[in-house]
Amino acid sequence: MEQVSDTLVPLTLTIDGVHRTEAVDRRSLLVEALRDDFGATAPKTGCATGDCGACTCRVDGAVVKTCLQLAVAAQGSDITTISGLAPRGELGPVQQAFWDEQAFQCGFCLSGMVLAAEDLLSRNPEPTDEEIRWAISGNLCRCTGYETIVAAVRTAAERLGAADS
């Protein structure tokens, strides 16, 4: 077993507010470490080449496709998955809008879609439909045809705007 354990290194992450250290294969992608070693399975592996976005998380404030980063490169990072977006089992405004607008079917793309939408609205609170489509274009969905996802982001923007004013 020596060769196998040789590849293990300790990795410390804060995931959805919980600070933990686990032994991680140093060859692992961040998404693999999150899912397999830390048990954070909300991000999914859809391609492992950065094309589908299903593995998206917020890493130190930036929206990151976690299949494009080695786990060890995230040492000490603060990571938010969609499980950590809203406290105490409630839904955040973007999540709520996705539910209300039927903006997903199989749900496999949701990590990426919701985090990309949150990221857009944090920078641009009143996006046009074209801006929404551009913002989520790094994330693939095979079920919805994107129409209701665009509607959900629009709805979330309206609700957030109404709440602010």
Partner 1 sequence: MDGGGLVVSHDDSAAALAQGSAYSGSSVRRHDGDRYLQGHIAYSDDLRLPGMSHAVLVLSPLAHARIVAIDTEAAQARPGVLAVLTGADLAAEVGPIPNAMDPAGVGGRDVALRVLPVSKVVYAGQPVVAVVAETRAAALEAAALVHVDYEALPHVLDAEAAMAEGAPLLYEEWGTNIMLAGTAGTGSFEDVRQTAFGVVEGELRTGRGAPAPMEPRCYVADWDVQTSRLTWHGTTQAPHPLRHSIASFLGVRERQVRVVAPPVGGSFGYKNFGHPEEYLVCALSRIVGRPVKWVEDRTNTLRYGSRDMRLRYRAAFGADGRVSGVTCHMLANHGAAAATGAFGMALAGGLALPSGYAVDVFEAEYQVVVTNKGPYSPMRPFGKEASALLMETVMERVAEETGLDPFEVRRRNWVRSDQFPYATSTGLLLDSGNYEGLLDKVLEDFDLEGTRAEHARLREEGRYLGIGLGFEVLPEGADIPGALIGASDISTVRMDPSGDVTVLTGVTSPGNGNDTAIMQIVADRLGVSMDSVSIVQGDTDICPFGFGNVSSRGVLTGGGSAALAADDVADKLRRVAAGMLHCDDPGRIRLGDGMARVEGEPEQALPISAVAGALYTVGYIVAPDVEPTLEATRTFKMHNIRHQPDDGGQFNLFSTFSNAVYVSVVEVDVATGLVEVLRHVMVHDCGIMINPRFVVGQFTGGVVTGLGAALGEEILHAADGSLSTSGFKTYLLPRANDVPAFEIAHQVTPSPFTPLGTKGAGEGGVACSMASVLNAVNDAIRPLGASVNELPISPHRVLASLQEVDR
The nearest distance, CB 122 to partner 1, in angstroms, is 18
Instruction: Give the number of other CB atoms < 10 A from CB of residue 138.
Output: 15
**Edge-to-edge strand ranges of the sheet holding 18-25:** 18-25, 8-15, 78-80, 56-59, 62-65
CB of 147 to partner 1, least distance (A): 5
* Residue from the set 141, 155, 156, 157 that interacts with partner 1 by CB under 8 A: 141
* Minimal distance, residue 74 CB to partner 1, in Å: 18
Instruction: Give the C-alpha separation, 74 to 55, whole Å.
Output: 15
* Binders of partner 1 in range 49-68 (CB under 8 A): 49, 51-52, 54
Q: Does 130 help bind partner 1 (rule: CB under 8 A)?
A: yes
Q: CA-CA distance, 115 to 96, in Å (whole number)?
A: 13
Question: According to the binding rule CB under 8 A, does residue 29 interact with partner 1?
Answer: no
138 three-state secondary structure: coil
CB 98 within 8 A of CB 83: no
DSSP lists the bridge partners of residue 8 as 25
Task: Match 């004013």 to its residue by tokens.
Answer: 165
Binding span for partner 1 by CB under 8 A among 37-45, 70-78, 118-126, 156-164: 37-45
Residues that bind partner 1 (CB under 8 A): 1-4, 7, 25, 27-28, 35-36, 39, 41-49, 51-52, 54, 81-83, 85-86, 89, 91, 95-96, 98-100, 102, 104-111, 114, 129-130, 132-134, 136-151
